[in-house]
C-alpha cells in the first residue's frame, strides 16, 4: 500500500472503507445498522422538512379550490349554471365538520372538487374519515345531526386533510332560505381571485426560526450518529497500520466507512420517510391532517440532503480523527489535545448576532425580515452552542474537585474526553436553546394573535343562533330538556329604525330590539320591575352606541322593525312604541356587550313582529355530563337546520398562529424523540465499549450503585453545563428576536425553566433506560474471553 | 462434603455450564494461606471459570465453595462483593486498569471503595507501587505506560488491600518473557510477604513454576498434580 495523493488514492481508500464497513462480521453489521438507523432518522426528518412547503401550498390550493362564496349583497337569479349552497358547518367533539347543503338548479351547476355528482335530496356524500366515524359507535351522536343516507365519498381533491370530516348533503327548497350570507347561489367554486398565501412578517419570522431551531439538532444528531462505534473503528484502523497503511490512508478508509454508513443511512432515511409519509396520512394533530401525496419533498432541497449528508459524514469523521494518533501496534492514543481556543468559538455566535442586530426594531410594520439573514443569524447563534460547549465542558471539568469514587471516575473520564461528553449533549443543548428563544418569541408576540373574546363564561358557555321561525318558548323547552343543560336564556333579536329599511342608503338611526321573558331580559339590563307585557328602553352607561335610544324609542312613535330573516335585508314591519314604556339600564350581556335599545317581553310583542327576530339562545351547561355540547348541537340542528351553535372560550387565537404552534409541538416532539434516541444509542455504545472494564471493576468489589452513579455523573455534568449554556444563548436569542419584532423584552422564566426541565427530563429518561443494560454489562460475563 | 483441613478456600464438585457448554464438570480445588497454586490447562478447559467461581464472581450451578469456613453459595451478591473488596485481590491479563484514572489512583481505588480516605489510600498505593518498582509512573494514565509497567500497577492494585487471596488470570499473558518473569517475581514475593494465597491461572509452564502446587483443568474436571503424584 502506498499513500499517494490525488483522486485515485481517495477513491481506492474510500471504497476500501466502504468494503470494511460491510464486511465487519456481526459486530460490524450491528455498528453499520446502528449508524444507518441514526442517520436515517435524521434524513427522514430532513426530507419531511423539505416536504413541508409543498404540503402547505397544496393544502392552501385545495382549500381555495373548494371556496364557495355565499356572501353577496344581491342574490343572483336562478339559471342552468347555478347552485344553491348552504354553509352548515358544525363541530363534533372539538373537531370541525365541514357541512354543505346543496341544490343544483340546472344541468350546468358547478361541481364541488372531489365530487362526481351531487347527492339527491336526503342523501349525502362524505369524506372517508366522516364515513368511518359515522359507521362506528363513536359517531352515533353525529349521525343524529346528519339524517342523510350516505351514497358516496368525497375524493381527495375536495379535502384538505385525510382525517377531515366533511359532507355535502342534497336538499330542496333552499331558495326560501337564501340570505346572501349563510345560504347563497353560486356559479363556480374557487377564489374570486387566486391568492398566494401571505404571511405576516412576524409569523414568517416564527416559522423561519422554528425550522432552524428544529433542524439544527437534527444536523447535530447526524454528526453524532456517524461517529457511533468510533473507538472500535480506531482499533481496526490500527490493525491496518500494522500491515502498512499510512496515517493518511487510514483517515481516508475511515471516511469511506462513514460514507458507507451515511449512504445506507440515506436509503434508510428514504424508507423511513416513505413509511412516515403513509403514517402521516393516518394521524391528525390539533385538527390538522395531511394526505401522503402532500408530502413530496422539494426536488432541490431533497437533492441538497442527498449530497450534504454523506459529505458532512465524511467531514465529521476526518475532523474527529484530527486528534487521534493511530499507531501500528494496535494502540490508539489520543494525541495530547490542544487546549481549546475560545476566540473562534465566540466568533460564531457573535457573527450570528451581527446578522440579526440590524433588523432590531423592524417590527411588523416595516415589511418583511430578510429571510437569509434571519436563518443565518439564528443558525450561527445556535451553532455557537455547539462551538462553545466543548470549551465550557473542558474548562469546567478541569477545575472540578475530588469527591467520592463515583464522582472521581466520572470527572476523570470527562477530563480525558470532554469532547465526546460535549458532543453527546450538543443536540439537546441546541434544541433547548432554540426552544427557549422560540418560547420567548411566542409569548412576546402572542398578544397580537390572541384576543380576549370578552364573553362572560360565568353566565353561559354556549350560544345558539337560529332563525325566527322557531318559537323561542319551544326552543327554550327543547334545550331545557337536553341532557347536561342547566340554564337557558332565550332571546329574540333584531334592529329597529326611524325610517323604512328600504330607504336609499338605509336608515340613519337604529337601535337593538330584544324580545325575552323578564328573566331572560334581566341578563341584558337592570329592570326596575318586570311583568309579561312590559316594554323597556335600555340605555347604556358606557356610551358604546351612537344613537340615544331614549330619543328614538319614544312612546307613540312609529318605528320600523327589520325582518332579520329576510334575505334582502330590507323588509320591515311597522311598530308603534306603546305607552307605559319603562326605563332600564343596559348591563354587560352574556355575549360581552351592552345592548341598549328596546326590550320587549313576549306579552307585549305584536303578532306581526313575531317572525322578525333571530333567536339567540344562551346556555349554561354541566360540562361534567359527557357530550353535552354535542347533544345541544343536535337539539339545535333538529329545531333549525341552519342554526349555529358556538361553544364559548375566553380567548380566540389567530389560525396561522395556532397552526405554527401546532407545527412547533409536532416538530419539537419529533426532535426530542430523535435526540433521546441519539443519547441512548451513544450511551449504550460507550457502555458497550467499556464492558470488560465494568466487569473488572465489579469483580474486585465495586458496588453497582457506585458505577451507576458514575454513569449518572458523567451525563449530568455535561448536561448541566449544556443546559446552562443553552439557557444563556436561548435567552439572548429570544431577546434579539423580540427586539426585532419591536416587542418589549420579557423573560418568561417559567417557560425557560420548563424547556430546560424538559431537556433535563430527556436525559434522566435516557439514563434510566440505560441502567438495565448497564447492570447487564456489569455481569461477570464481561470477563469471559472464550 | 468437608473442605480439606486448614484450607482457606476450597471447592468441591463444582458444575457450571454456559448453555450447552459444560465449563466445569465436577471440579475440585483447595488452597492454604500463603500458598501459590497454579491452575493450568489448555484454552477453553474451564480454568478461568473455576477462578471466577472461586472468587464469587460467578455462581456455580452446583457444588460447594467455602472461604474461611463460610459457604459462598449462601452469601448474597452484596456480601460476595464485600468479600471481593476486602479479602480478595485480582490481576487480569490486560491489567484492566481504569483508563481515566492515573496509575496511583488506580492502585488506590480498592481502598477508596472500602471507605479509606483518598490521602491515606494514595499513600498506601504509593508504598505498593514502590515495592513493585512503578512509583515513577504514579501520575501517568494507563495509556501512557508500557505493558509491563501497567501489569505491575495492576499487581499493586491487587495487593493494596492486603487481601488474603489473590486471583491472577494469565497475569503475564500480554507480556514478553522478560517482563513476564519480572512481574511474577515481584508479584509472588509481595504476596508471600503478606501471607496471601495466590490462585494463578496460566497455561505457561514457566509462570506455573512460581507456584507451590499445580492443578490441571481439562474438560471442566480438575486434577491436583501434587496429590496425583
Question: A608-625 pLDDT, tens per residue?
Answer: 777 788 888 888 888 888
CB contact under 8 A, A408 and B58: no
Based on the domain organization, do A697 and A722 belong to the same domain?
Answer: yes
Residue A703: predicted pLDDT: 82
Last residue of a domain, one of A627, A649, A671: A649
Confidence of residue A568 (pLDDT cuts 50, 70, 90): low
Q: Which residues contact A472 (CB under 8 A, 6 or more apart)?
A: A490, A491, A492, A515, A516, A602, A615, A617
Average pLDDT, chain A: 79
Contact, B21 vs B219, CB < 8 A?
A: no
Contact, A305 vs A43, CB < 8 A?
A: yes
pLDDT, one tens digit per residue, over A331-375 is 454 545 566 778 888 888 899 888 888 887 776 655 567 777 888
Give whichever of A251-255, A404-408, A670-674, A677-681 has the largest mean pLDDT. A404-408
Nearest to A137 by CA among A481, A627, A624, A484: A627
CB contact under 8 A, A696 and B55: no
Beta-bridged to residue A149, according to DSSP, are A123
Residue A475: predicted pLDDT: 84
- Inform me whether the pLDDT recorded for A223 exceeds 80: no
Last residue of a domain, one of A138, A168, A186: A186
Identify whether B22 is part of a domain: yes
Quick count: other Cβ atoms within 10 Å of Cβ A301? 17
Averaged over A766-773, what is the pLDDT? 83
Based on the domain organization, do A490 and A619 belong to the same domain?
Answer: yes
Averaged over A473-489, what is the pLDDT? 87
Residue B95: predicted pLDDT: 65
Question: Number of structural domains, chain A?
Answer: 3
- Inform me whether the pLDDT recorded for A322 exceeds 80: no
Identify whether A232 is part of a domain: no
Q: Residue B74 sits in a domain of what CATH number?
A: 3.40.50.300
Based on the domain organization, do A636 and A659 belong to the same domain?
Answer: no
- Domain hosting A146: range is 83-186
Size of interface A-B (CB pairs under 8 A): 79
d(CA A127, CA A146) in angstroms, rounded, equals 13
Identify whether B45 is part of a domain: yes
Higher pLDDT, A708 or A38: A708
Contact, A16 vs A263, CB < 8 A?
A: no
Contact, A726 vs A756, CB < 8 A?
A: yes
d(CA A64, CA A149) in angstroms, rounded, equals 28
- Burial (CB < 10 A; 0-12, 13-18, 19+), residue A142, is buried
Query: Which residue does chain A place closest to B161, by CA atoms?
Result: A700
Q: Read off the DSSP letter of residue A112.
A: P
Identify whether B156 is part of a domain: no
Identify whether A270 is part of a domain: no
Identify whether A490 is part of a domain: yes
- Burial (CB < 10 A; 0-12, 13-18, 19+), residue B77, is exposed
Contact, A405 vs B112, CB < 8 A?
A: yes
d(CA A221, CA B41) in angstroms, rounded, equals 49
CB contact under 8 A, B112 and A405: yes
3-state secondary structure of B166: strand
Residue A250, min C-alpha distance to chain B (Å): 21
Based on the domain organization, do A642 and A684 belong to the same domain?
Answer: no
Q: What are phi and psi of A158, to 5 degrees?
A: -95, 5
Out of B82, B90, B105, the one facing A699 most closely (by C-beta) is: B90
- Diameter of chain B measured on Cα atoms: 50
Percent of chain A with pLDDT over 70: 84
Residue A1: predicted pLDDT: 44
Identify whether A669 is part of a domain: yes
Averaged over A421-425, what is the pLDDT? 77
Averaged over A62-75, what is the pLDDT? 76
Residue A243: predicted pLDDT: 59
Averaged over A370-387, what is the pLDDT? 83
Question: Number of structural domains, chain B?
Answer: 1
CB contact under 8 A, A333 and B48: no
Out of A405, A698, A703, the one facing B109 most closely (by C-beta) is: A405
Interface residue B139 vs chain A (CB under 8 A): no
Confidence of residue A287 (pLDDT cuts 50, 70, 90): low
Based on the domain organization, do A479 and A621 belong to the same domain?
Answer: yes
Residue B39: predicted pLDDT: 93
Based on the domain organization, do A713 and A620 belong to the same domain?
Answer: no
Most B-contacting residue of A413, A420, A700 (CB-CB within 10 A), to test interface: A700
Based on the domain organization, do A572 and A640 belong to the same domain?
Answer: yes
Residue B214: predicted pLDDT: 92
d(CA A337, CA B144) in angstroms, rounded, equals 14
C-alpha cell at B82: 464485600
Confidence of residue A173 (pLDDT cuts 50, 70, 90): confident
Identify whether B25 is part of a domain: yes
Q: What are phi and psi of A279, to 5 degrees?
A: -65, -35
- Inform me whether the pLDDT recorded for A271 exceeds 60: yes
Quick count: other Cβ atoms within 10 Å of Cβ A256? 24
The residue whose grid cell reads 462505534 is A229
Identify whether B43 is part of a domain: yes
Based on the domain organization, do A587 and A446 belong to the same domain?
Answer: no
Based on the domain organization, do A559 and A631 belong to the same domain?
Answer: yes
Most B-contacting residue of A701, A705, A708, A783 (CB-CB within 10 A), to test interface: A701
Residue A3: predicted pLDDT: 45
Residue B125: predicted pLDDT: 94
Would the ipTM clear 0.85, i.e. be above it? no
Identify whether B27 is part of a domain: yes
- Inform me whether the pLDDT recorded for A578 exceeds 90: no
Residue A333: predicted pLDDT: 47
Quick count: other Cβ atoms within 10 Å of Cβ A459? 17
Query: Which residue does chain A place closest to B44, by CA atoms?
Result: A786
Contacts of A659-665 spanning 24+ positions with Cβ under 8 A: A659/A288, A660/A203, A660/A206, A660/A207, A660/A210, A661/A442, A662/A285, A662/A286, A662/A288, A663/A207, A663/A210, A664/A210, A664/A214, A664/A438, A664/A442, A665/A285, A665/A286
pLDDT tens by residue, chain B, 229 residues: 577 788 899 999 999 998 888 889 999 999 999 999 999 988 888 888 898 899 888 889 999 999 998 999 888 877 887 888 888 988 887 767 887 788 998 899 888 877 888 899 999 999 999 988 899 999 998 888 888 888 889 989 988 989 999 999 888 877 778 878 888 888 888 888 889 999 999 888 888 999 999 999 998 888 887 654 4
Identify whether B37 is part of a domain: yes
Interface residue B85 vs chain A (CB under 8 A): yes
**Range with lowest mean pLDDT among A269-273, A490-494, A737-741:** A737-741
A477, HSE (Cβ side, Cα atoms, 13 Å): 5
Residue A225: predicted pLDDT: 66
Last residue of a domain, one of A119, A152, A186: A186
- Domain hosting B14: range is 1-87+197-229
Higher pLDDT, A193 or B90: B90
Identify whether A681 is part of a domain: yes
Identify whether B169 is part of a domain: no
The residue whose grid cell reads 448474597 is B76
Sort out which chain B residues have CB atoms less than 8 A from A703's CB and list them: 78, 81, 113
Identify whether A579 is part of a domain: yes
Interface residue A702 vs chain B (CB under 8 A): yes
Based on the domain organization, do A645 and A729 belong to the same domain?
Answer: no
Averaged over A168-175, what is the pLDDT? 87
Out of B58, B86, B96, the one facing A696 most closely (by C-beta) is: B96
Out of A693, A696, A701, the one facing B113 most closely (by C-beta) is: A701
Confidence of residue A220 (pLDDT cuts 50, 70, 90): confident
- Diameter of chain A measured on Cα atoms: 115
Based on the domain organization, do A562 and A493 belong to the same domain?
Answer: yes
Amino acid at each position: 500500500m502506498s499513500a499517494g495523493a490525488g483522486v485515485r488514492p481517495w477513491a481506492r481508500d474510500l471504497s476500501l472503507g466502504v468494503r470494511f464497513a460491510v464486511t465487519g462480521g456481526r459486530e460490524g453489521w450491528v455498528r453499520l445498522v446502528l449508524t444507518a438507523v441514526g442517520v436515517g432518522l435524521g434524513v427522514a426528518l430532513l426530507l419531511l422538512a423539505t416536504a413541508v412547503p409543498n404540503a402547505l401550498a397544496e393544502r392552501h390550493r385545495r382549500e381555495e379550490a373548494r371556496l364557495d362564496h355565499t356572501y353577496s349583497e344581491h342574490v343572483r337569479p336562478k339559471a342552468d349554471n347555478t347552485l344553491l349552497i348552504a354553509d352548515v358547518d358544525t363541530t363534533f367533539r372539538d373537531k370541525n365538520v365541514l357541512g354543505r347543503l346543496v341544490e343544483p338548479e340546472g344541468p350546468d351547476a358547478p361541481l364541488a372538487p372531489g365530487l362526481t355528482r351531487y347527492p339527491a335530496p336526503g342523501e349525502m356524500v362524505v369524506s372517508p374519515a366522516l364515513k368511518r366515524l359515522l359507521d362506528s359507535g363513536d359517531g352515533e351522536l353525529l349521525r343524529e345531526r346528519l339524517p342523510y343516507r350516505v351514497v358516496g365519498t368525497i375524493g381527495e381533491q375536495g379535502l384538505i386533510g385525510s382525517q377531515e370530516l366533511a359532507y355535502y348533503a342534497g336538499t330542496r327548497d333552499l331558495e326560501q332560505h337564501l340570505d346572501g350570507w349563510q345560504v347563497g347561489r353560486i356559479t363556480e367554486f374557487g377564489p374570486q381571485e387566486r391568492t398566494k398565501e401571505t404571511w405576516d412578517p412576524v409569523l414568517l419570522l416564527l416559522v423561519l426560526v422554528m425550522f432552524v431551531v428544529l433542524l439544527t439538532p437534527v444536523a447535530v444528531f447526524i454528526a453524532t450518529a456517524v461517529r457511533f462505534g468510533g473507538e472500535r473503528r480506531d482499533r481496526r484502523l490500527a490493525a491496518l497500520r500494522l500491515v502498512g497503511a499510512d496515517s493518511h490512508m487510514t483517515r481516508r478508509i475511515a471516511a469511506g466507512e462513514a460514507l458507507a454508513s451515511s449512504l445506507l443511512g440515506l436509503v434508510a432515511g428514504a424508507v423511513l420517510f416513505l413509511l412516515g409519509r403513509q403514517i402521516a396520512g393516518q394521524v391528525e394533530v390539533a385538527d390538522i391532517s395531511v394526505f401522503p401525496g402532500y408530502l413530496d419533498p422539494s426536488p432541490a432541497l431533497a437533492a441538497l440532503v442527498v449530497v450534504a449528508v454523506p459529505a458532512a459524514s465524511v467531514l465529521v469523521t476526518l475532523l474527529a480523527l484530527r486528534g487521534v494518533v493511530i499507531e501500528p501496534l494496535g494502540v490508539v492514543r489520543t494525541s495530547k489535545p490542544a487546549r481549546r481556543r475560545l476566540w473562534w468559538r465566540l466568533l460564531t455566535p457573535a457573527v450570528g448576532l451581527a446578522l440579526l442586530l440590524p433588523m432590531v426594531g423592524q417590527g411588523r410594520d416595516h415589511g418583511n425580515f430578510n429571510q437569509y439573514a434571519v436563518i443565518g443569524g439564528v443558525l450561527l447563534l445556535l451553532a455557537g452552542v455547539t462551538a462553545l460547549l466543548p470549551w465550557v465542558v473542558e474548562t469546567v471539568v478541569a477545575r472540578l474537585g475530588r469527591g467520592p469514587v463515583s464522582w472521581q471516575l466520572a470527572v476523570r473520564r470527562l477530563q480525558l474526553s470532554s469532547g465526546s461528553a460535549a458532543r453527546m449533549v450538543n443536540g439537546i443543548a441546541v434544541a433547548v436553546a432554540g426552544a427557549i428563544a422560540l418560547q420567548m418569541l411566542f409569548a412576546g408576540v402572542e398578544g397580537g394573535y390572541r384576543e380576549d373574546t370578552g364573553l362572560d363564561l360565568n353566565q353561559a358557555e354556549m350560544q345558539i343562533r337560529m332563525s325566527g321561525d322557531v318559537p323561542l318558548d319551544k326552543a327554550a323547552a327543547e334545550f331545557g330538556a337536553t341532557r347536561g343543560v342547566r340554564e337557558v336564556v332565550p332571546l329574540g333579536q333584531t334592529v329597529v329604525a326611524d325610517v323604512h329599511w328600504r330607504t336609499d342608503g338605509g336608515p340613519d338611526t337604529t337601535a337593538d330590539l330584544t324580545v325575552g321573558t323578564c328573566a331572560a331580559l334581566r341578563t341584558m339590563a337592570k329592570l326596575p320591575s318586570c311583568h309579561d307585557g312590559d316594554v323597556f328602553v335600555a340605555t347604556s352607561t358606557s356610551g358604546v352606541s351612537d344613537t340615544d335610544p331614549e330619543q328614538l324609542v319614544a312612546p307613540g312613535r312609529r318605528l320600523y322593525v327589520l325582518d332579520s330573516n329576510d334575505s334582502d335585508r330590507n323588509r320591515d314591519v311597522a311598530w308603534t312604541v306603546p305607552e307605559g314604556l319603562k326605563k332600564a339600564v343596559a348591563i354587560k350581556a352574556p355575549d360581552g356587550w351592552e345592548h341598549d335599545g328596546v326590550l320587549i317581553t313576549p306579552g307585549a310583542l305584536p303578532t306581526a313582529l313575531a317572525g322578525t327576530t333571530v333567536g339567540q339562545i344562551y346556555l349554561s351547561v354541566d360540562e361534567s355530563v359527557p357530550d353535552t355540547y354535542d347533544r345541544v348541537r343536535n337539539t339545535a340542528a333538529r329545531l333549525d337546520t341552519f342554526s349555529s351553535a358556538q361553544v364559548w372560550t375566553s380567548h380566540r387565537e389567530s389560525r396561522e398562529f395556532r397552526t405554527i404552534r401546532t407545527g412547533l409541538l409536532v416538530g419539537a416532539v419529533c426532535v426530542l424523540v430523535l435526540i433521546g434516541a441519539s443519547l441512548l444509542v451513544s450511551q449504550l455504545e460507550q457502555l458497550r465499549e467499556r464492558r470488560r472494564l465494568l466487569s473488572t471493576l465489579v469483580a474486585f468489589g465495586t458496588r453497582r450503585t457506585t458505577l451507576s452513579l458514575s454513569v449518572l455523573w458523567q451525563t449530568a455534568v455535561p448536561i448541566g453545563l449544556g443546559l446552562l449554556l443553552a439557557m444563556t444563548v436561548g435567552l439572548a436569542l429570544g431577546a434579539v428576536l423580540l427586539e426585532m419584532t419591536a416587542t418589549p423584552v420579557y423573560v418568561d422564566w417559567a417557560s425557560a425553566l420548563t424547556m430546560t426541565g424538559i431537556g433535563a427530563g430527556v436525559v434522566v429518561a435516557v439514563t434510566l433506560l440505560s441502567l438495565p443494560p448497564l447492570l447487564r454489562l456489569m455481569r461477570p460475563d464481561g470477563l469471559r474471553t472464550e | 462434603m468437608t473442605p480439606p483441613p486448614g484450607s482457606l478456600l476450597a471447592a468441591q464438585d463444582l458444575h457450571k455450564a454456559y448453555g450447552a457448554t459444560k465449563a466445569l464438570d465436577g471440579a475440585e480445588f483447595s488452597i492454604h494461606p500463603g500458598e501459590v497454586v497454579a491452575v493450568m490447562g489448555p484454552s477453553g478447559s474451564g480454568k478461568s471459570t473455576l477462578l471466577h467461581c472461586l472468587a464469587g464472581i460467578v455462581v456455580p450451578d452446583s457444588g460447594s465453595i467455602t472461604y474461611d469456613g463460610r459457604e459462598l453459595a449462601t452469601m448474597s451478591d452484596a456480601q460476595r462483593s464485600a468479600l471481593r473488596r476486602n479479602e480478595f485481590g485480582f490481576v487480569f491479563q490486560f491489567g484492566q486498569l481504569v483508563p481515566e484514572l492515573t496509575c496511583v489512583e488506580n492502585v488506590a481505588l480498592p481502598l477508596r471503595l472500602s471507605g479509606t480516605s483518598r490521602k491515606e489510600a494514595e499513600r498506601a498505593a504509593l508504598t505498593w507501587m514502590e515495592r513493585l518498582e512503578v512509583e515513577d509512573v504514579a501520575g501517568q494514565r494507563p495509556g501512557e505506560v508500557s505493558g509491563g509497567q501497567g501489569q505491575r500497577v495492576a499487581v499493586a492494585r491487587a495487593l493494596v488491600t492486603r487481601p488474603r487471596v489473590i486471583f491472577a488470570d494469565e497475569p503475564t499473558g500480554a507480556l514478553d518473557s522478560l517482563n513476564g518473569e519480572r512481574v511474577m517475581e515481584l508479584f509472588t514475593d509481595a504476596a508471600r510477604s503478606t501471607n496471601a494465597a495466590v490462585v494463578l491461572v496460566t497455561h505457561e509452564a514457566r509462570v506455573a513454576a512460581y507456584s507451590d502446587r499445580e492443578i490441571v483443568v481439562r474438560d471442566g474436571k480438575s486434577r491436583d498434580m501434587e496429590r496425583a503424584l
